Amino acid sequence: MKIAVMGGDGFVGWPTSLHLSDAGHDVHIIDNLSRRWIDTELGVQSLTPMDSIQERTRIWQAETGRRIHFHLIDLAKDYEILKQWLADERPDAIIHFAEQRAAPYSMKSDRHKNYTVDNNVSATHNLLNAIVEVGLDSHIVHLGTMGVYGYSTVGAAIPEGYLPVDITAVTGEKVSQEILYPANPGSIYHMTKCLDQLLFAFYAKNDGLRITDLHQGIVWGTHTEQTKRHPQLINRFDYDGDYGTVLNRFLIQAAIGYPLTVHGVGGQTRAFIHIQDSVRCIELALKNPPERNSRVEIFNQMTETHRVRDLAKMISEMSGTEIAWLPNPRKEAPENELIVKNDKFIALGLDPITLKEGLLEEIVEIAKKYAYRVDRSRVPAVSAWTKDIASTINRDPEGKSLKSVS
């Protein structure tokens, strides 16, 4: 297939692009490189050194003989350019990663909230609008988040996207329906993904677009089979308080002797998936598109759930690193259960990679190799969900300010 990977320079977009190219597809990356500009804004860099997208794709072609094309287009702003590109290239499938992906970044300030909404919602709508306008029948695969469900405890497994409900009609009879699982976003970022759901539902119903929405858990790991082939193909690896995912952050903290930062009591239960499984799931979704004029296909893209404090204790025991219990910058319940169905991907043949000590140690070794690139002042999570919470944040988990006084 000819596949457009929107946001193909990113944390999941890059290994997905390599994986699909390796499978023989004609891959076109469309990206505005905004994630690299955000690194500059935050004064932080990927733990792993990243070459330019042009150099990355050159190395891939030199290693494999397969070309990945790159197109500098901003989905949220360059509507006419996007529409013309789609009309000219007419991809068979489009994978949509082109959204600001970090909840903490989306809550940093009013400016960051506006940027996240403007970028994410406009990118999604521009893409759907343009596909209809040029008459494409491309299968759209969108990377969403488990966060659309929220993290409240209901005592039942979260289904894959749709919830069966009974409604009492005016006659008194029970009428059965399936509705989108009630949205319960925990940040501005998560809210944009909930808005995406409604856009997808409308365009599938109104224009017959074929759409798959992947509600993904927290991604951990850094390498896939393809990124291992050459040092310059390595994926980005975020450790900072805004973009670093919780398990990856713990592993980096362990590698550099930084306290494992657990916020609140660590009772937050989260869904996880390894980066290799993430790209496999995207390929499985591509191979199993919904029919035209059917409802949006929704998968829960996760393989296991863990409490944050349990992860921290596991990494602490593995590495001997102490745990720092800090105030929580997020507005969320201190404890939650999370029971999630992921039957669809299992039925399609996914053999999940679960947390194994060998894989965890491999990540720690990568982190140790590039530890010289860490700016320790960027490790704390300091983006607060409300102004009241902001005053409670611990910006110095290592206690360096106290040590310097004594």
The one catalytic residue among 189, 239, 258, 370: 189
Q: Please, which pLDDT band fits residue 226 given cuts at 50, 70 and 90? A: very high
What is the overall mean pLDDT for the chain? 95
Pairwise CA distance, residues 88 & 130, whole Å = 12
Taking 70 as the threshold, does the pLDDT of residue 405 lie above it? no
Taking 90 as the threshold, does the pLDDT of residue 36 lie above it? yes
Q: Please, which pLDDT band fits residue 402 given cuts at 50, 70 and 90? A: very low
| Interval 14-33 mean pLDDT | 98
Assigned token pair, 374: 């860490």
Q: Please, which pLDDT band fits residue 153 given cuts at 50, 70 and 90? A: confident
Q: Please, which pLDDT band fits residue 156 given cuts at 50, 70 and 90? A: confident
Query: In this predicted model, what pLDDT tens digit does every residue of 43-91 receive, in sequence order?
Result: 999 999 999 999 999 999 999 999 999 999 999 999 999 999 999 999 9
The one catalytic residue among 79, 115, 149, 193: 193
| Interval 374-397 mean pLDDT | 94
| Domains and their CATH numbers in the chain | 2-391 (3.40.50.720)
| Interval 110-115 mean pLDDT | 98
Taking 50 as the threshold, does the pLDDT of residue 403 lie above it? no
Q: Please, which pLDDT band fits residue 320 given cuts at 50, 70 and 90? A: very high
Pairwise CA distance, residues 298 & 290, whole Å = 10
In Å, what is the CA distance from 289 to each residue of 23, 285, 292, 296? 18, 6, 9, 10
Active-site residue 145, yes or no?
Answer: yes
Taking 90 as the threshold, does the pLDDT of residue 312 lie above it? yes
Query: In this predicted model, what pLDDT tens digit does every residue of 228-287 receive, in sequence order?
Result: 999 999 999 999 999 999 999 999 999 999 999 999 999 999 999 999 999 999 999 999
pLDDT of res. 401: 59
pLDDT of res. 151: 83
Active-site residue 189, yes or no?
Answer: yes
Pairwise CA distance, residues 290 & 296, whole Å = 7
| Interval 117-126 mean pLDDT | 98
pLDDT of res. 115: 98
| Interval 342-362 mean pLDDT | 91
The one catalytic residue among 124, 145, 212, 261: 145
In Å, what is the CA distance from 112 to each residue of 31, 138, 346, 370? 20, 32, 37, 29
Share of the chain above pLDDT 90, in %: 93
Assigned token pair, 211: 């759409």
